Chains A and B, each alone.
Chain A
Amino acid sequence: MVRSGYDDVVHLHTCRGIYEVFPKGVLVVIGVVLYSLAALLLAVSVVRDRGKTAAAVKKAGMIFWNLLPEILAIMLFVGLSLAVLTPDVISALIGEESGVFGVLAATVVGAFALIPSFIVFPLGGTLIDAGAGYPQVAAFVASLMSIGLASLPMESKVFGRQFAVKRNLYAAAFALLFAAVIWGVF
């Protein structure tokens, strides 16, 4: 049974309440705004030029169709990573490890996991509460947000493998440098 909403993730996992913070509501509002705006623009476009509008919709459809295999892989990846990497597991991986090794472990876990951004930061707070250090959490959140091994096939398809691999490597460098800065400040 798949019910909608992250609230059922709360039932699926015994976690320390981070998912309650995630407001599915915000996502719905953003979705409604995006769909309304798209509908409005399409309406304006149809009035001005039918043919061009049809071409635009066709292009949108083709992008979706062309990237669908990669998108479906990402969806499954998110499902797998959230099912396996529960807050408790992440806490065990990162919270216990300190020092440089902890920063590296956090970067690697962050690179593999794909967690919705509204969850990433509350999860970071939870990790701090659980005893993780700020540099490790810094590497973890920066890595989660900017490195995407799950979306690497899609990024490679759109921009070419060389760009995608390099951008992710530099994103890893960013996560490590950011952790170093946080280490110096906190």
Chain B
Amino acid sequence: MQGLVKRYRWFAVMLLALAVLTAVSPALGADAVAITGNTLVDMLMLLPPILVFVGLLDVWVPKETMIKYMGAGSGVLGVVIAFLLGAISAGPLYLAFPIAAMLIKKGALIRHVVFFLGVWTVAKLPVLIYELAALGALFTAIHVGFGLIFFYVLGLWFERQFDEKTLLKYDITAESA
């Protein structure tokens, strides 16, 4: 019971916030519930297949293969793969966390994984079309160009501060976590 309370503490905080909002304005509370429902549907359209990919990656791809393509010594290829994984993606950043964790577990360099997360936030191809249309080519080019450089350098920096063991203390695939 105590574990359950601890596990769901953030959800409880959000429920409390919803209760307060509904008390202040029932209309806004109803909006929040309706939008939450839509967001759940959106999430269910994307997350389960992504998790299946992560699970299959875990059982089928040997560590050596991942190291060859994204690990130490993968060179430019690792950067390109990290870029492509982030660029073809769709959906909010939290969908990328389980993928990133699995990449690290399989031996991808932390710099590549941080870069992958960065690409996900600045250069998702489906979203770029909207940025171009709404804010123009120059704005978009600066956003993407500056973002790619920033997050690549950040990856190099993070690689010096974190290692695989400290990042993956918690195994998200574990049975009794």
Contact = CB atoms under 8 A, between A and B. Distances in A.
Do A and B form a real pair?
A: yes
Interface of A: 1-6, 8-9, 12-13, 21, 26-28, 30-31, 34-35, 37-38, 41-42, 45, 52-53, 55-64, 66-67, 69-80, 82-84, 114, 116-118, 120-122, 124-125, 128, 134, 137-138, 141-142, 145-146, 148, 151, 153-155, 157-160, 162-163, 166-167, 170-171, 174, 177-178, 181-182, 185-186
Given A118-B127, A145-B121, A60 B55 contact: yes
For the side of the interface on B, what is the size category?
35 or more
9 contacts: A9-B38, A21-B130, A30-B45, A62-B175, A69-B9, A82-B35, A83-B31, A128-B135, A158-B100
A45 B143 CA distance: 40
Nearest to A64: B51
Contacts of B17: 76, 80
B10 A158 contact: no
B53 A30 contact: no
Interface stretch (B66-74, B77-85, B165-173): B165-173
B114 A167 contact: yes
Contact of B40 (A53, A61, A75, A171): A75
Contacts, number: 264
A57 B52 contact: yes
A30 B7 CA distance: 31
A100 B93 CA distance: 27
Given A121-B135, A125-B135, A177 B35 contact: no
A120 B158 CA distance: 28
Given A59-B54, A60-B48, A117 B92 contact: yes
B156 interface: no
A73 B60 CA distance: 32
Given A62-B177, A64-B51, 17 more contacts: A5-B38, A9-B35, A26-B126, A37-B53, A38-B49, A60-B54, A63-B55, A75-B40, A79-B18, A117-B91, A120-B127, A134-B139, A157-B172, A160-B166, A178-B142, A178-B147, A182-B139
B51 A80 contact: no
B39 interface: yes
B59 interface: yes
